[in-house]
């Protein structure tokens, strides 16, 4: 087929930059493709151009992409456009797939059988459990095993030295060098390798075998790489060896969409492409065909705040459309009530364009499906309280790639174990898992003696402290206090039980001392509001875990729940972004951006890229929740883009609520009353000071189902004197009470 016919038949609807990418075949080429620019269509069309116009043999072309699903999708798309003449001869592979081929070929060359491949994460997990037991103070949870696997994979993909592994281990707080060494030794001893070893071995083979290098360079004279921004350092090195200095390499990606840093994605390879490949060219497809112009303009201005990127702009092909909507709620809990209404309205809407929450009338016709609506979030756990409410109300939803690690995380396991111990105070197994996390100050030998006495006398374990010689008065008092708090928990709502665990029982201090994120406590509190007993709460957690594990997806359901990572490459007519607040998304914000360390800047830029990917999933409507008392760096940046020509003050993350709302010397208090109005959120565990009663802690608040202060406006405070009193809100803060640091 001649060039003119091909271009007329297959690229008539392409823009100039898309057509340029199709026609550029020889040399080292990096194609930067903004969201919604049609990169996969261009890549597949370019393959057809190489075959039909340039007469390149399909056996000389290797196309690499990130996942097996992506390779299958690309092969199907090629066949749907160009038919089956060449589709069976083209190679679409993952990098692991080509590495396996290199290893097997080398094994045949030297007459040795390669190590067997660990076919799933469970095999590696079983090995790591035994290793982690040597180095952790307690039996490793499923989440800790998964985290160790991720760290080991990161080390291999980033080609870290032993010193760098040691430093990474110090950063994450585990003996990573020892764990890495033991894991590697165990695999070698059993003649096994994991998927990351495949790349390590393939790279070593290519480096040591110039004949094998030459073979692959002659065979694959044209290499195409999709999703290059998600490719790791060792993968880029392997690709460079396969292409060689004179080969033809076509990489498609966008460093602005690199969001897998925790998996060792290496966007630096795109930034250094011209430096690493002599004579390289960079092409840019900058037109977004997906989102309306207002979303595109805001997203483009937002991502330009990153420094580690190519200088490019994203332009919209579509018209203006709807403005980005910012839904202001009193607190994070309000998101769930709002989104339940959205989900309910998604069942069916009518053609007359009813608003969310309105019921279609009999006169309205015809009935049609609601627009596909996605709720996107950074962390899997963010959506659990919403799922809980949807399940209770029987509202359908569809969820993508739910990770179950919340239920096996250390924090959730600890909270549920403490609750179970409160219900079964003679359980020595549970006691040994929680005693050192509840500020008892018991030594391990003392705790073990208590367990022996408990079994012998058939008494609660904490009561056995009375019979252990050598326990001093302070420790004995701690044990008695813990026993009292646990006993009270059994007669209280689980919401208050979680407060007791965090505050009087000292678990919050344990989290702070060990630098453990306490966001899971927020999720647990939200899940606890509809339960009245500890037993009911524990059963509800187990039920939710089973629901998420066993649910069959209804792919016709228009209401979709997804992490932003799982939404990559997808698009939705309406998008809601939830939990956009500092400490959650982004997870961390440097206190001062000007003095931030390189690592802090790098982490914030990856978080910004993740947010950018989230907002560019939206086709027509984008809505973002925001909270006055839990603000967001990213919302501030996104809403500032129209004023970009003016000098903007640097955004400073707001301080903790106890620092923000504190009166001056006159505690009689119009200052605090001004800040604390009926829209304000009181949280169990907040410290208060009363002119009449002294210092205390809020132990109960009359919440409604969304976790907001109830209409009666009452809250309970336990003072240091032991006295517990109920107050009216906000009246108490006008009469001598204020939040205390």
Residue from 258, 254, 309, 257 nearest 285 by CA:
254
CA-based max dimension of the chain? 94
d(CA 118, CA 193) in angstroms, rounded, equals 6
* CB contact at 8 A, 561 and 375: yes
Mean pLDDT is lowest, of 18-32, 125-139, 465-479, 677-691, for: 677-691
- Which two structure tokens, joined as six digits, stand for 546? 């089973």
d(CA 651, CA 524) in angstroms, rounded, equals 31
Compute and round to an integer the Cα radius of gyration of the chain. 29
- What's residue 642's pLDDT? 61
Query: At residue 657, does pLDDT exceed 60?
Result: no
- What's residue 646's pLDDT? 41
Over residues 304-312, the mean pLDDT reads 96
Q: Cβ of 444: how many Cβ atoms within 10 Å?
A: 11
Residues 6+ apart with CB under 8 A from 275: none
* CB contact at 8 A, 558 and 604: no
CA angle 479, 483, 484 (to 5 degrees): 120
> At which residue do the structure tokens 């950018």 appear?
612
CA angle 185, 190, 192 (to 5 degrees): 85
- 59 to each of 43, 63, 83, how far by Cα in Å? 17, 11, 17
- Which two structure tokens, joined as six digits, stand for 574? 């309406």
Backbone angles phi, psi at 287, to 5 degrees: -100, 125
- What's residue 688's pLDDT? 82
Does the domain formed by 325-397+557-643 have CATH 3.40.190.10? Answer: no
SS3 196: helix
Query: At residue 660, does pLDDT exceed 60?
Result: no
SS3 285: strand
Q: Cβ of 329: how many Cβ atoms within 10 Å?
A: 18
d(CA 572, CA 277) in angstroms, rounded, equals 37
Over residues 309-321, the mean pLDDT reads 95
d(CA 736, CA 238) in angstroms, rounded, equals 69
410-547: CATH class: mainly alpha
Element (H, E) at 699: strand 694-701
39-52 and 68-82 helices, crossing angle to 10°: 60
494-502 and 473-489 helices, crossing angle to 10°: 160
Residue from 573, 562, 559 nearest 376 by CA:
562
Residue from 277, 288, 247, 250 nearest 22 by CA:
250
Does the domain formed by 657-739 have CATH 2.40.10.170? Answer: yes
Residue from 713, 710, 705, 684 nearest 337 by CA:
705
- What's residue 653's pLDDT? 46
> At which residue do the structure tokens 């790791």 appear?
232
Over residues 487-491, the mean pLDDT reads 95
Q: 667 or 454, which is more confident?
A: 454
Backbone angles phi, psi at 275, to 5 degrees: -70, -35
Spatial strand order in the sheet of 373-377: 325-328, 618-626, 572-577, 373-377, 559-563, 398-400
Backbone angles phi, psi at 388, to 5 degrees: -55, -45
- What's residue 684's pLDDT? 67
Query: At residue 645, does pLDDT exceed 80?
Result: no
- What's residue 138's pLDDT? 83
- What's residue 703's pLDDT? 55
Over residues 488-514, the mean pLDDT reads 93
- What's residue 315's pLDDT? 97
Q: Cβ of 702: how many Cβ atoms within 10 Å?
A: 16
Over residues 14-28, the mean pLDDT reads 98
- pLDDT digit string (tens) for 149-202? 999 999 999 999 999 999 999 999 899 999 999 999 999 999 999 999 999 999
* CATH number corresponding to 3-107+199-285: 3.40.50.300
The domains of the chain are located at 3-107+199-285, 116-190, 325-397+557-643, 410-547, 657-739
Q: 554 or 160, which is more confident?
A: 160
| Average pLDDT for the chain | 88
* CB contact at 8 A, 99 and 114: no
- What's residue 502's pLDDT? 93
- 555 to each of 288, 398, 558, how far by Cα in Å? 27, 7, 8
Element (H, E) at 281: strand 281-285
Mean pLDDT is lowest, of 245-249, 587-591, 592-596, for: 592-596
- pLDDT digit string (tens) for 192-220? 999 999 999 999 999 999 999 999 999 99
* CB contact at 8 A, 493 and 531: yes
- pLDDT digit string (tens) for 709-734? 555 578 888 776 667 788 888 888 88
Q: 713 or 585, which is more confident?
A: 585
Peptide bond between residue 92 and the one before it cis (omega within 30 degrees of 0):
no
d(CA 621, CA 372) in angstroms, rounded, equals 11
- pLDDT digit string (tens) for 343-366? 999 985 533 333 333 333 444 445
Q: How many CA atoms lie within 13 A of 261 on its CB side?
A: 17
Over residues 314-334, the mean pLDDT reads 92
Peptide bond between residue 586 and the one before it cis (omega within 30 degrees of 0):
yes
- Which two structure tokens, joined as six digits, stand for 609? 């890229």
Q: Please report which confidence band the pLDDT of residue 368 belongs to, taking 50, 70 and 90 as the band edges.
A: low
Alpha-carbon dihedral angle through residues 639, 641, 642, 647, given to the nearest 10 degrees: 110
Q: CATH for 116-190, among 2.40.50, 3.90.380, 1.10.10, 3.40.462? A: 1.10.10
667 DSSP assignment: T
237 DSSP assignment: H
- pLDDT digit string (tens) for 257-300? 999 999 999 999 999 999 999 999 999 999 999 999 999 999 99
Q: Please report which confidence band the pLDDT of residue 701 belongs to, taking 50, 70 and 90 as the band edges.
A: confident
- What's residue 297's pLDDT? 96
* CB contact at 8 A, 348 and 367: yes
d(CA 503, CA 509) in angstroms, rounded, equals 8
Cα dihedral across residues 217, 220, 222, 225: positive or negative:
negative
d(CA 218, CA 653) in angstroms, rounded, equals 56
Would 116-190 and 325-397+557-643 be classified into the same CATH topology? no
């Amino acid at each position: 087929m001649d060039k003119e016919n091909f271009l007329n038949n297959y690229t008539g609807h392409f823009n100039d930059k898309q057509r340029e990418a199709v026609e550029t075949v020889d040399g080292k080429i990096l194609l930067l493709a903004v969201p919604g620019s049609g990169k996969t269509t261009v890549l597949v069309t370019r393959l057809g151009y190489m075959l039909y116009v340039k007469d390149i043999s399909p056996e000389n072309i290797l196309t690499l992409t990130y996942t097996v699903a992506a390779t299958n999708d690309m092969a199907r798309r090629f066949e749907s456009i160009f038919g089956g003449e060449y589709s069976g001869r083209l190679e679409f592979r993952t990098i692991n797939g080509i590495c396996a081929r290199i290893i097997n070929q080398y094994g045949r060359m030297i007459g040795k059988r390669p190590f067997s491949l660990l076919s799933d994460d469970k095999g590696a997990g079983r090995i790591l459990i035994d290793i982690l037991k040597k180095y952790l103070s307690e039996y490793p949870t499923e989440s800790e095993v998964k985290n160790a696997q991720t760290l080991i994979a990161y080390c291999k993909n980033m080609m870290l030295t032993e010193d760098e592994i040691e430093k990474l281990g110090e950063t994450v707080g585990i003996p990573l060098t020892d764990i890495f060494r033991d894991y590697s030794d165990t695999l070698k001893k059993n003649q096994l390798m994991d998927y990351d070893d495949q790349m390590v071995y393939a790279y070593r083979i290519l480096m040591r075998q110039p004949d094998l290098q030459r073979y692959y360079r002659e065979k694959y004279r044209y290499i195409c790489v999709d999703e290059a921004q998600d490719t790791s350092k060792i993968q880029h090195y392997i690709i460079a060896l396969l292409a060689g200095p004179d080969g033809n390499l076509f990489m498609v990606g966008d460093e602005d969409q690199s969001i897998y840093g925790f998996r060792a994605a290496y966007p630096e390879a795109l930034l250094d492409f011209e430096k690493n490949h002599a004579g390289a060219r960079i092409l840019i497809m900058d037109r977004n065909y997906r989102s309306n112009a207002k979303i595109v303009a805001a997203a483009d201005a937002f991502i330009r705040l990153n420094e580690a990127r190519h200088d490019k702009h994203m332009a919209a092909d579509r018209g203006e459309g709807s403005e980005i909507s910012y839904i202001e709620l009193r607190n994070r809990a309000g998101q769930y009530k709002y989104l339940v209404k959205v989900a309910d309205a998604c069942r069916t809407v009518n053609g007359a364009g009813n608003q969310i929450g309105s019921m279609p009338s009999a006169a309205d016709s015809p009935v049609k499906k609601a627009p596909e609506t996605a709720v996107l979030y950074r962390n899997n756990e963010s959506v659990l309280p919403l799922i809980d409410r949807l399940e209770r109300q029987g509202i359908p939803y569809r969820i993508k790639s739910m990770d179950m690690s919340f239920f096996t995380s250390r924090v959730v396991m600890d909270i549920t174990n403490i609750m179970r111990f409160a219900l079964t105070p003679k359980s020595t197994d549970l006691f040994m898992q929680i005693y050192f996390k509840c500020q008892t100050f018991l030594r391990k030998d003392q705790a073990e003696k208590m367990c022996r006495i408990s079994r012998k006398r058939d008494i609660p374990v904490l009561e056995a402290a009375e019979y252990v010689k050598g326990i001093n008065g302070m420790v004995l008092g701690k044990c008695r206090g813990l026993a009292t708090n646990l006993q009270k928990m059994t007669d209280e709502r689980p919401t208050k039980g979680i407060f007791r665990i965090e505050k009087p029982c000292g678990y919050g201090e344990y989290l702070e001392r060990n630098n453990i994120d306490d966001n899971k406590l927020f999720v647990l509190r939200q899940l606890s509001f509809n339960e009245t007993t500890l037993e009911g709460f524990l059963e509800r957690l187990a039920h939710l875990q089973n629901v998420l594990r066993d649910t069959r997806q209804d792919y016709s359901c228009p209401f979709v729940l997804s992490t932003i990572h799982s939404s990559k490459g997808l698009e939705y007519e309406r998008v809601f972004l939830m939990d956009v607040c500092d400490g959650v998304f982004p997870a961390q914000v440097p206190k001062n951006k000007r003095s931030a360390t390189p690592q802090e800047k790098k982490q914030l830029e990856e978080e910004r890229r993740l947010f950018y990917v989230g907002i560019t999933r939206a086709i027509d409507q984008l809505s973002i929740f925001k909270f006055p008392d839990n603000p967001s760096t990213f919302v501030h940046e996104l809403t500032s883009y129209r004023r970009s020509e003016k000098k903007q003050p640097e955004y400073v993350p707001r301080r903790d609520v106890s620092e923000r709302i504190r009166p001056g010397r006159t505690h009689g208090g119009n200052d605090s009353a001004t800040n604390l109005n009926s829209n304000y959120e009181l949280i169990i565990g907040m410290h208060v000071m009363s002119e009449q009663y002294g210092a205390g802690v809020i132990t109960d608040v009359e919440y409604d189902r969304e976790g907001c202060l109830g209409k009666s406006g009452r809250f309970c405070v336990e003072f240091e004197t032991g006295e517990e009193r109920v107050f009216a809100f906000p009246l108490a803060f006008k009469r001598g009470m204020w939040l205390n640091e």
